[in-house]
């Protein structure tokens, strides 16, 4: 299994002959090394409906005939855009041919904002994602604040890599993410959701230097972890 980070919250997983991308915010992401027009993906996993996470989903899914796995309301909305979707919800798991997906809690919002008409379209509950394949488990926390059930997630799952937001303001900041890392007990912790915008600027190297229960890796866009 190969796992790579691509700026903001974009994570790519290559497993079982499939390419899976989480929260493909590529266009407009100044930190990514990817080009949406060149990406070939089989599966898109979405944590919630904000534009900096859904990103290029519709274009990627249509061009690649990808399946989009997302929380129910978001999946329904995207299906109306002509995308092949698989709806899920918090606490639910499903075994796909490419791996097992389970949605966890995330404490955040989830919506599309239409600036031209001043509308906000609700896209259901936000979530985190537990992805299991090849005997390995990856946890992508999505956008979230710290919550005590992360202890339970850590107790119930042998997590190999956890992707945790550290940007603060919209999500956990570094101090809360350190607590989350202690609770999750992942073998490797990778910070995400930072430095894309001025209001979420953080130093990921300082964060990983403070981790005590996990090996921390501040990945540059495009860097790969092999499990």
DSSP secondary structure string, 91-150? T-EEEETTEEEEEEE--S--EEEETTTTEEEE----EEEEEEETTEEEEE--S----TTH
Mean pLDDT, rounded, for 8-34: 97
Task: Please write the tens of the pLDDT for every residue from 119-147.
Answer: 999 999 999 999 999 999 999 999 999 99
Task: Please write the tens of the pLDDT for every residue from 40-82.
Answer: 999 999 999 999 999 999 999 999 999 999 999 999 999 999 9
- CB contact at 8 A, 47 and 62: no
User: Residue 213 above 90 pLDDT?
Assistant: no
The domain tally of the chain equals: 1
Q: What is the residue range of 28's domain?
A: 2-218
Q: What does R_g of the chain's alpha carbons equal in angstroms?
A: 16
Domain with residue 19: its CATH number is 3.60.15.10
pLDDT at residue 110, as a whole number: 97
The Cα 79–Cα 194 span in angstroms is: 30
Question: Is residue 223 in some structural domain?
Answer: no
Mean pLDDT, rounded, for 91-113: 97
Q: Which residues contact 66 (CB under 8 A, 6 or more apart)?
A: 41, 42, 43, 44, 60, 84
User: Residue 1 above 90 pLDDT?
Assistant: yes
């Amino acid at each position: 299994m190969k796992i790579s980070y691509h700026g903001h919250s974009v994570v790519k997983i290559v497993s079982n002959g499939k390419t899976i991308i989480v929260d493909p915010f590529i266009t407009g992401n100044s930190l990514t090394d990817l080009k949406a027009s060149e990406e070939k993906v089989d599966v898109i996993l979405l944590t919630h409906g904000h534009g900096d996470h859904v990103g290029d989903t519709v274009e990627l899914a249509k061009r690649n005939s990808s399946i989009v796995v997302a929380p129910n309301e978001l999946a329904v909305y995207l299906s109306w855009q002509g995308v092949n979707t698989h709806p899920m919800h918090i606490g639910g798991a499903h075994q796909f041919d490419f791996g097992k997906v389970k949605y966890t809690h995330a404490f955040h919002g989830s919506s599309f904002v239409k600036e031209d008409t001043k509308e906000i379209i609700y896209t259901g509950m936000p979530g985190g994602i537990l992805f299991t394949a090849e005997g390995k488990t990856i946890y992508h926390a999505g956008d979230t604040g710290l919550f005590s059930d992360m202890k339970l997630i850590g107790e119930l799952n042998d997590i190999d890599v956890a992707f945790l937001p550290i940007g603060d303001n919209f999500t956990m900041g570094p101090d809360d993410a350190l607590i989350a890392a202690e609770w999750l007990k992942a073998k490797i912790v990778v910070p995400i959701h930072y430095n894309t915008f001025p209001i979420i600027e953080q130093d990921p190297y300082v964060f990983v230097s403070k981790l005590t229960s996990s090996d921390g890796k501040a990945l540059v866009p495009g860097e790969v972890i092999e499990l």
